[in-house]
Amino acid sequence: MIGRLNHVAIAVPDLEAAAAQYRDTLGAEVGAPQDELDHGVTVVFITLPNTKIELLYPLGDASPIRGFLEKNPAGGIHHICYEVDDILAARDRLKADGARVLGDGEPRIGAHGKPVLFLHPKDFNGCLIELEEV
């Protein structure tokens, strides 16, 4: 059901410093910051030959990333994202198998302009999973 690894998301306490580190120290291709109001984050994508890194920074007081950074002040891996061909079919299959879909269970448009869903980390070995339809 799952396809390629789309990205690994890292919550960071300083978006500019993290982007500069990937660009200047590691020599990676770093995109411009994007505010994602519906998700409460500002993101920067780092393009690698085989996948992407998504840097996450809180946008607004209700941002889910704010709480993550309060528990992990240095930042850290927040989630991993896998590609799926049909997000609704994937959701239905996962729910039938007992997996919990976060939010209202309906896909929302993610940072790439495509439908996404998040799966509860307690159902996946402590890892928050994002599915993105491609």
pLDDT tens figures, 39-70 = 999 999 999 999 999 999 999 999 999 999 99
Asked if 65 and 18 touch (Cβ cutoff 8 Å), the reply is no
pLDDT tens figures, 96-105 = 999 999 999 9
10 Å Cβ neighbour count for 127?
A: 13
Asked if 81 and 131 touch (Cβ cutoff 8 Å), the reply is yes
Asked if 45 and 54 touch (Cβ cutoff 8 Å), the reply is yes
pLDDT tens figures, 113-124 = 999 999 999 999
Overall pTM > 0.85: yes
Known catalytic residue: 54? no
In the numeric block, which tokens belong to residue 77? 């891996």
Which residue(s) pair with 10 in the sheet? 55, 77
Catalytic one among 29, 36, 130, 132?
Answer: 130
Cα 50–chain centre separation? 17
pLDDT tens figures, 11-42 = 999 999 999 999 999 999 999 999 999 899 99
The beta-strand segments (E) located in the chain are 5-11, 29-30, 34-36, 41-47, 52-58, 76-84, 108-109, 115-119, 129-133
10 Å Cβ neighbour count for 94?
A: 20
Domains recognised in the chain with CATH numbers = 5-133 (3.10.180.10)
